[in-house]
Every structure is written in structure tokens, then in C-alpha cells.
Amino acid sequence: MPAQQKIVFLDRMSLDANVRKPAFHHEWTEYEASEAGDAASRLAGATIAITNKVPIRAPDLDKLPDLKMIAVAATGINVVDLEVCRERGIVVSNIRDYAVAAVPEHTITLMLALRRNLRAYSDDVAAGRWEKSKTFCLLDHPISDLSGSRLGLIGYGALGKSVAKLALAFGMEVCVYNRSPINDPHVTTLPLDELIRTSDVISLHLPLSDQTRNMIGRAQLEQMKSTAILINTARGGLVDEAALAEALINGRIAGAGFDVLTVEPPQPDNPLLKLRLPNFILTPHTAWASKQAMQTLADQLIDNVEAFVAGKPRNVVV
């Protein structure tokens, strides 16, 4: 390993936090943003690459003989060709458990907003309907408590567990579908079909893979209660977006709150972008992005880089 590390951060603008410089001799270059085709040229001569969402694929890696580490400034590592990194001995590290408050709080916020129809009532007030009411309030949209309702969690990692903790504090019954065994006396494990059929709120907390892609499709949406809502703050691609749009338009389910889409930034023809429904809330992949979470991410990112240079790599994916 060379005495001086050359570090290149491909998309610094993706992280609104103080990124301290590593405590070893190095050359640091950062770009606010990079296109997919920029990776090879901008990483030329680099020993350490930092990327959040800029892909580093096999053709790029073939042109980067000096590269020894890729520090992913996120949990998801699908932007990196892991197999080629494994073959070439390039260490890939990611960020873990940095948003265990931010994402669960956003998830609960979406649940509350939808169950209490906040968007519909806010729109009514803006349209002047409250002023014309014959009584002191408007009651045109159903309002339901989280307390006493069943939350179905699909996936039970760190984020799923944090959502469960908050949901239990609200008085919800928490049921979980997870491929690995669960030893938690506060939740009930259910088969996936039963969880989908019986939950009042379904929330997704698992990675995107060939096995989970479109795991919530038309068949699963038809199994849900007509009064149920679907939350996705995990990964785009877990839900068939066209099927969800159809279900919402037809009133097949009561609502949905999403923070992620299959392609980001989204394409103009994404069916969810066209929805103008009070029972659908779409946020632009911001569930993770509290100030506190981003700073934790930034600190862990440099911890990963320093650990690698010290010969004790951490949070290693390959």
C-alpha cells in the first residue's frame, strides 16, 4: 500500500454533513456529483474511492489498477460490482445502523399522516371547506388510531426492530415476517400471506434482491384489507409500482406512504408520480436524512477509511 493514499469522493453533495479528513497522509479530491460514466476517469490513480450512489462497475474497475478500497457512503452496496472487487482483492465497506432513529421516525410519521388523513384535511382547509362547515369541525375523511391496530413488519433488522419499538409505544400489535428466526417476546411471527391479509399497516424493512424484487405485487395488494395502508421506506423495487398505483386509484387499499422508488431520480413516466390522491404520500428518499443521521454516517465513513489504512478494515462487505 503506497505511503500516501489518494482518496476521491465521487458525490460529496449527497452528504450534508461535516466530513472530517482522515488522520493519515493523503491526497483528497471531491466532486459535488458525478455521472455513471465519470467513475473511471475521476478515480484514475485513486487508491480509495468514496461513493454514495455513483456506480463503479466492472469496466470501470478494469481501468483502475491502483484502487484498493471502495468506501460506500450508504448501507446499500448495489452500486458496486462486488464480484470483481472480490476477485481483485478490493475491500468494500459500507455504513451500518446510522439511521436507526431517522428512518423509523419517518416511517411512523407516514403511518400517522395516512391513518389520520392529514393530507386530505389539510387540503380541505386550504380549499376553504372548513370555513363553510355547519359545525365546528370537518369529518369528511375517516380517522383511525394506530393504537389497537396491527402492524405487519416485513423484515426485522435494526430498522424493523426500531419501528417495532415505536409502534409498541403507540399501542400497536406488532407482527413480523422474517426469513431468519426471531426471538422477541414483544412481537408475533406470521407467515407472509397471513401478515398481508390481517395487518392494518404493512411496513417494509428489507433489502432489494432478486428474491425480494416486486414481492408486493398485484396479488399481494388484493390480499390486503381494503382499510390497510402500505409503507415503504426501505428500497424501491420491493413493490410493483404500476400495481400499487392501480390499487390506490381503484380504492383497493386505503393508502400508501413511500420514500423510495425503483429508479431514482424517478423517470417522468413513473405511475406513482402522476397520482394526485390525498391518501398517497411520496417523499424524495429523505427518511434517512436527518442532520444527526447524516453526521453519524459521515463519521462512520471516515472511520471505515481509517480502519482500512490501519490494516484493520471494518464494516467489510467483500
* CATH assignment of the domain containing 199: 3.40.50.720
Do 139 and 268 lie in one domain? The reply is yes
Could you give the C-alpha distances from 245 to 120, 165, 226, 279, 297, in angstroms and in order? 18, 30, 14, 11, 33
Burial of residue 8 (CB within 10 Å: 0-12, 13-18, 19+) is: buried
Are β-strands 91-93 and 188-189 bridged in parallel, bridged antiparallel, or unpaired? Answer: unpaired
Q: Please write the tens of the pLDDT for every residue from 286-304.
A: 999 999 999 999 999 999 9
Catalytic one of 235, 276, 306, 314: 235
Structure pTM?
0.92
* Predicted pLDDT at 302: 98
Tell me how crowded residue 109 is: count the other CB atoms within 10 A of its CB: 17
Question: Total domain count for the chain?
Answer: 2
Catalytic one of 116, 285, 306, 314: 285
**Could you give phi then psi for residue 230, rounded to 5 degrees?**
-120, 130
Residues in the chain: 318
* Predicted pLDDT at 3: 66
Locate 121 and state its grid cell. Answer: 384535511
Q: Please write the tens of the pLDDT for every residue from 240-270.
A: 999 999 999 999 999 999 999 999 999 999 9
How far apart, in Å, do the first and last CA atoms of the chain sit? 18
In a domain, 317, yes or no: no
Do 18 and 80 lie in one domain? The reply is yes
Do 85 and 111 lie in one domain? The reply is no
Do 22 and 134 lie in one domain? The reply is no
Do 298 and 278 lie in one domain? The reply is no
Q: Please write the tens of the pLDDT for every residue from 277-287.
A: 999 999 999 99
Determine the average pLDDT of the residues in 93-116.
97
Q: Please indicate whether residue 30 is annotated as part of the active site.
A: no
Do 42 and 171 lie in one domain? The reply is no
Determine the Cα–Cα distance for residues 210 and 213; give it in Å rounded to an integer: 6
Q: Is the dihedral of CA 97, 102, 108, 113 positive or negative?
A: negative
In a domain, 318, yes or no: no
**Given the C-alpha cell 389497537, which residue does it identify?**
148
Burial of residue 269 (CB within 10 Å: 0-12, 13-18, 19+) is: exposed
Do 211 and 227 lie in one domain? The reply is yes
Locate 285 and state its grid cell. Answer: 428518499
Determine the average pLDDT of the residues in 43-49.
98
Do 261 and 303 lie in one domain? The reply is no
In a domain, 218, yes or no: yes
Determine the Cα–Cα distance for residues 242 and 226; give it in Å rounded to an integer: 18
Do 179 and 226 lie in one domain? The reply is yes
Locate 194 and state its grid cell. Answer: 397471513
**Given the C-alpha cell 497522509, which residue does it identify?**
25
Determine the average pLDDT of the residues in 3-11.
93
Determine the Cα–Cα distance for residues 255 and 247; give it in Å rounded to an integer: 9
Nearest to 245 by CA among 221, 264, 262: 221
Q: Please say if the pLDDT value at position 2 is more than 70.
A: no
In a domain, 316, yes or no: no
In a domain, 18, yes or no: yes
Q: Is residue 12 within 8 Å of residue 32, measured between CB atoms?
A: yes
Domain span at residue 210 reads 102-282
In a domain, 305, yes or no: yes
Q: Please indicate whether residue 264 is annotated as part of the active site.
A: yes
Q: Please indicate whether residue 27 is annotated as part of the active site.
A: no
In a domain, 13, yes or no: yes
Instruction: Tell me the average pLDDT of the chain.
Output: 96
Do 117 and 140 lie in one domain? The reply is yes
Do 71 and 118 lie in one domain? The reply is no
Determine the average pLDDT of the residues in 297-318.
97
For 137-156, b where at least 16 C-beta lie within 10 A, e where not — what string?
eeeeeeebebeebbbbbbbb
* Predicted pLDDT at 54: 97
